[in-house]
């Protein structure tokens, strides 16, 4: 992994639901990929020196007034360009061809018939299954372009301008329903763009060690530790790079899981020898959150209080200029800060991205900001972190604040800590924890009637959430065995005072998010 050179694939996003999937599929081949908003200009792309460009799909039609376009000067670049779906329509339009709406769009599985394989469809079967999703089609191929394949409905499904190294597909090679999609992407990466598969954990670690040493010099760094895999990998990376110049700081904001602070200290300090200190700031955080129910406000309060707590620690340690934290690529995408000057839709503010105060005195070190979660875990393995930490489910920086809907009180925190501890331990006991990407409990500000013994109860509703995913950008709900759900529910209701009803969330992402707030 070599993010500083940016010599991989630049993906220009036109709003496709599959854009992050394109990036993931490319990175799985050990080639760096980076997503840019459609407003990106030629000069910005040149600064990143991509080996090739992919134009993503999107929901718009190229003839709509509000349809997203791109800097036409990008076509002057002497590097390969692949357009997918909407990207194909843009290339067709820009090169003088015609794109028109069709009466019945083509959505779902289709058969591809190859007439000329060329480099893009090399080794792909003459008849193969692909995934279509479009309401427009090419009705006139631009001059200099050649049709490579058609769909079973006679729609132009792939074409190329070999001399200018321009390629396009009407179908989505990045989705699993396109059976030979990875072969097609690999052809583009290696036969056409001549990429080098050097985006590896070992290379990433060595690159980041050099970058950290260059940025820090002989100064000191505070490393924000949350107990999760991201911040733990950052701590291990800083420890490897600059040793005792880095001090891990675990701020207990009172919203951690049960016994989490002690477990984190044991793993990092006692197990790996990392310099780490624990600070109990729970009273400060909870006082600031008193009476606050709105989720975005919670995140921003917690983000600011983290920085203020680090500044206090810095003053005690004779001034520290740097703060290292575990920001990931999905955090940047979902916070709408994909690229400076660009645009990405804000899904939610992350406490370490959108929640940072403007007047903080630290210079940030974010060595994982180019990585997806599974890539972070691979780096953690390379650094020698234990499996129990690497495989730990993601845990949000704001902690239980975003899992307690409505007002946060000490009583509600304790209820959720106890219930969630039972839930996670049941998953571990039944050996299903590692099958799940993320599992957690949500305390809902709704009380329901129940009966315990001969007594009527009126207590809290608890929701259980468990999803499967690769990188957290999309997720499906985990099919929890009914017997296990029954066991978890009974144990929580019988053991945790304040809960008398348990429900299970079966919403995927999209349309929902993984966390509730």
**Nearest CA among 498, 478, 507 for reference residue 416:** 498
- Residues 80 and 52 sit within 8 Å (Cβ to Cβ): yes
- Catalytic annotation present for 177: no
CB 403 within 8 A of CB 441: yes
Alpha carbons 115 and 126: distance in angstroms, whole number = 8
| Separation CA 261–CA 254 (nearest Å) | 10
316 labelled catalytic = no
- Strands 33-37 vs 9-13: parallel, antiparallel or unpaired: parallel
Q: Tell me how far the alpha carbon of residue 143 is from its chain's centroid.
A: 40
Among 38, 134, 161, 172, the active-site one is 172
d(CA 477, CA 390): 22
Closest by CA to 238, choosing from 265, 262, 257, 219, is 219
Q: Which of 3, 13, 1 has its CA nearest to residue 338?
A: 13
Residue 293's contacts (CB-CB under 8 Å, 6 or more residues apart) are: 405, 406, 407
State residue 263 phi and psi, 5-degree precision.
Answer: -65, -40
Residues 332-363 as b or e (16 or more Cβ within 10 Å = b): bbbbbbbbeebebeeebbbbbbbbbeeebebe
What is the crossing angle of helices 373-382 and 201-216, to 10°? Answer: 80
Give the active site residue among 34, 38, 85, 350.
Answer: 85
Helix axes 229-242, 373-382, angle to 10 degrees: 40
Q: What is the dihedral of CA 66, 67, 73, 75, to 10 degrees?
A: -170
User: What is the SS3 assignment for 6?
Assistant: coil
From 499, 498, 294, select the one nearest 407 (Cα to Cα).
294
* Integer CA distances (angstroms), 320 to 226, 242, 286, 317, in order: 19, 14, 26, 7
The alpha helices in 2-85, defined as continuous H runs, are: 19-27, 42-48
Indicate which residue of 34, 106, 174, 459 is catalytic: 174
Q: Which residues pair with 324 in a beta bridge?
A: 223, 365
Q: Tokens in use for 422?
A: 């039972």
426 is catalytic: no
CB 436 within 8 A of CB 393: yes
Query: Are the C-beta atoms of 136 and 61 separated by less than 8 Å?
Result: yes
Residues 6+ apart with CB under 8 A from 381: 201, 390
Catalytic site residues? Answer: 85, 172, 174
């Amino acid at each position: 992994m070599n993010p500083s050179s940016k010599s991989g694939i630049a993906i220009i996003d036109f709003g496709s639901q599959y854009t992050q999937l394109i990036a993931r599929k490319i990175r799985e081949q050990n080639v760096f990929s980076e997503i840019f908003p459609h407003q990106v200009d030629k000069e910005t792309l040149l600064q990143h020196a991509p080996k090739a460009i992919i134009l993503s799909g999107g929901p718009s039609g190229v003839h709509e007034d509000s349809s997203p376009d791109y800097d036409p000067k990008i076509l002057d670049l002497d590097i390969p360009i692949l357009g997918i779906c909407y990207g194909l329509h843009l290339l067709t339009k820009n090169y003088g061809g015609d794109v028109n709406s069709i009466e019945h769009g083509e959505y779902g599985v289709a058969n591809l018939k190859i007439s000329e394989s060329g480099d893009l469809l090399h080794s792909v079967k003459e008849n193969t299954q692909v995934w279509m999703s479009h309401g427009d089609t090419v009705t006139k191929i631009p001059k200099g372009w050649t049709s490579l394949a058609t769909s079973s409905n006679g729609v132009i499904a792939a074409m190329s301008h070999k001399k200018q190294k321009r390629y396009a597909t009407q179908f989505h090679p990045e989705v699993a329903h396109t059976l030979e999609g990875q072969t097609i992407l690999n052809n583009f990466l290696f036969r056409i763009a001549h990429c080098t598969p050097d985006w590896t954990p070992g290379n990433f670690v060595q690159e980041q060690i050099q970058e950290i040493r260059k940025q820090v010099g002989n100064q000191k760094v505070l490393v924000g530790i949350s107990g999760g895999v991201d911040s733990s990998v950052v701590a291990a990376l800083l420890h490897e790079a600059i040793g005792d110049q880095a001090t891990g700081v675990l701020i207990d904001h009172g919203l951690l899981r049960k016994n989490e602070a002690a477990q984190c200290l044991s793993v990092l300090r006692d197990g790996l020898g990392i310099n780490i200190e624990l600070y109990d700031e729970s009273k400060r955080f909870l006082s600031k959150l008193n009476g606050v129910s709105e989720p975005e406000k919670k995140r921003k309060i917690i983000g600011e209080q983290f920085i203020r707590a680090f500044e206090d620690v810095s003053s005690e340690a004779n001034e520290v200029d740097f703060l290292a934290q575990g920001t990931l690529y999905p955090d940047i995408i979902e916070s709408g800060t994909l690229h400076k000057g660009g645009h990405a839709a804000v899904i939610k503010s992350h406490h370490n991205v959108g929640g940072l105060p403007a007047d903080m005195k630290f210079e940030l070190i974010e060595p994982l900001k180019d990585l997806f979660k599974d890539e972070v875990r691979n780096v953690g393995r390379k650094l020698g972190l234990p499996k129990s930490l690497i495989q730990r489910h993601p845990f949000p920086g704001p902690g239980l604040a975003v899992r307690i809907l409505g007002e946060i009180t000490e009583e509600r925190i304790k209820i959720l800590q106890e219930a969630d501890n039972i839930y996670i331990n049941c998953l571990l006991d039944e050996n299903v924890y590692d099958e799940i990407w993320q599992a957690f409990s949500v305390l809902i500000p709704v009380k329901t009637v129940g009966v315990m013994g001969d007594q009527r109860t009126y207590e809290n509703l608890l929701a259980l959430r468990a999803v499967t995913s690769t990188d957290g950008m999309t997720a499906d709900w985990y099919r929890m065995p009914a017997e296990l759900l029954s066991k978890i529910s009974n144990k929580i209701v019988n053991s945790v005072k304040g809960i008398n009803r348990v429900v299970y969330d079966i919403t995927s992402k999209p349309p929902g998010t993984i966390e509730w707030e």
